Amino acid sequence: MEVQTTIRRLCCNLASGFQNTNLPWMLNGPNCMAATLLNALPDQFYVKDLQSRFVFVNTTTATYLKKTPPEIVGKTDIDFFPSSLASQFLAEEKLLLISGQPVINREDWWQDANGNTHWELTTKVALSDETGAIIGLLGTNRDITDRRTAQTQLQKLNIDLARSQVELLAAYDHLKQTQAQLIQAEKLESIGRLAAGIAHEVRNPLATLLMGLGFLKGSLPAQQPLTGTVLNDMRDAVHRADAIICELLDFSSPRQLDLTDEAVSVLAERALVLVRHELGHRRIEIMRKFTPDLPVQRVDRIRIEQVFVNLLINAIHAMPAGGQLTVRTGQNQTGAVMAEVCDTGPGIAPELLKKVFEPFFTTKKVGAGSGMGLAMAKTIMTQHGGDLTLTNQSEGGVCARIIFNNKKEADHGS
């Protein structure tokens, strides 16, 4: 048994490393100290002959295979592993025994009869005699199933963590958005409370003024045209003050929507008629780009006309020296009906774009606008389940886009 001789020599060679340690007893007995040492290893250690039969197995290997060393020695992997796996091991060992090419730290896995997966770190090297001829192989396997399981779990946890992070960020964004909406809602509620109080306290004196002006105008002798003009100016001022409060009231207490089926292009056209007087002498060219046969929308006609009027007036005021006013209707990529009112004015400074929907925000001079138009238009669109957005166009000017809620339309149609 050349292999056994070689093993014993190998063991003694290993043991010779301990000669200087004053532990001669370790070399005594039929099992040399090296065999004791190998049995104490936490890793599997085995020696096989040229037919891949086990010649020596340490205790860890025996425990792993749930056998005693004598039950293992003389047998091959075929007796312990699933046949396909054992064949693979044998083929690989055959190659090693011919070529001497070692297998170093390779991670293998296999499944036992119970379906449990085992991971091993395998190293196999050729065993040679004094002449250099290969007489067998030495192998060591480390059970890394726990490490691999932990690794897999860690990977899974990492994926979960990344997902949680994404969710957390989304939740944070949502929270920020909700907070902004809450602040806005609270602002609007305050304005609502304020509006009713202001209306009562301001419009009553305005009523007295208007009645007084009416009386004075009627009592005026015909030869005092200047006084008449003064009274008219005063009357206009009362109406202007009243108009601001009316807008505030309408904004703060939006009435219930009176929904009917309407064609958006028709509403846009009606609004264009309503703002005719605003065009005045301005050299503004109106471009109508209406898409025919759009699905009808279930909307409050008067409120949507009001949205168009507010957007058109803003666009007209943005072009005092003239320009092009484009009114477009159509559908976006999701099929939602939308409309755009675009001007060729100077556009809106980017830092102001966020503020344009705030009540009373205006860039117009005193008396030219209350700053309620866009706030109200946005509120009306939100009430309809749609939206209003404002963007600066790359070619200059502002484009206001309203989108209707196509879901509502679909529900209505079904």
Partner 1 sequence: MEVRRVLIVDDEAAFTSLVKLNLEKTGRFTVCEVNNPTKALVAAREFKPDITLLDVIMPGQDGGQVLAELRAAEFVDLPVIFLTATLTQRGLHERDDQIDGVPFIAKPVEPKKLINRINEVLANS
Q: What is the DSSP string of 112-145?
A: -TTS-EEEEEEEEEEEE-TTS-EEEEEEEEEE-H
Query: Considering only residues 206-245, where is the footprint of partner 1 by CB under 8 A?
Result: 206-212, 214-215, 218-219, 238, 242
3-state secondary structure of 372: coil
Q: How many residues bind partner 1 (CB under 8 A)?
A: 26
Burial class (CB in 10 A: 0-12, 13-18, 19+), 78: middle
Query: Considering only residues 302-361, where is the footprint of partner 1 by CB under 8 A?
Result: 302
Classify the C-alpha dihedral 138-143-144-147 as positive or negative: negative
State in angstroms the smallest separation of the CB of 411 from partner 1: 24
Residue appearing with tokens 């979960």: 160
CA 189 to chain centre: 32
**Alpha-carbon distance 325 to 285, whole Å?**
6
**Alpha-carbon distance 66 to 141, whole Å?**
15
Segment near partner 1 (CB under 8 A); pick from 18-26, 197-205, 271-279, 290-298: 197-205
Query: Considering only residues 76-135, where is the footprint of partner 1 by CB under 8 A?
Result: none
**Alpha-carbon distance 28 to 11, whole Å?**
12
The answer to whether residue 203 forms part of the interface with partner 1 (CB under 8 A) is yes
Residue appearing with tokens 């010649």: 55
Burial class (CB in 10 A: 0-12, 13-18, 19+), 394: exposed
The answer to whether residue 204 forms part of the interface with partner 1 (CB under 8 A) is yes
Binding mask 257-296 for partner 1 (x = CB under 8 A): -x--------------------------------------
Segment near partner 1 (CB under 8 A); pick from 45-53, 74-82, 199-207, 287-295: 199-207
* H or E stretch covering 106: strand 103-111
3-state secondary structure of 374: helix
- Closest CB to partner 1 among residues 125, 249: 249
- Closest CB to partner 1 among residues 109, 215: 215
- Closest CB to partner 1 among residues 17, 212: 212
Segment near partner 1 (CB under 8 A); pick from 141-149, 193-201, 226-234, 337-345: 193-201
State in angstroms the smallest separation of the CB of 235 from partner 1: 8
- Closest CB to partner 1 among residues 102, 205: 205
State in angstroms the smallest separation of the CB of 207 from partner 1: 4
State in angstroms the smallest separation of the CB of 323 from partner 1: 30
- Closest CB to partner 1 among residues 154, 220: 220
CA distances from 347 to 12, 326, 392 (A): 92, 14, 6
The answer to whether residue 4 forms part of the interface with partner 1 (CB under 8 A) is no
State in angstroms the smallest separation of the CB of 186 from partner 1: 22
Please pick, from the candidates 13, 117, 253, 382, the single residue that binds partner 1 as defined by CB under 8 A: 253
State in angstroms the smallest separation of the CB of 247 from partner 1: 9
State in angstroms the smallest separation of the CB of 199 from partner 1: 5
152 in Cβ contact with 145 (< 8 Å) = no
35 in Cβ contact with 76 (< 8 Å) = no
Task: Enumerate binding residues for partner 1 (CB under 8 A).
Answer: 196, 199-200, 202-204, 206-212, 214-215, 218-219, 238, 242, 246, 249-250, 253, 255, 258, 302
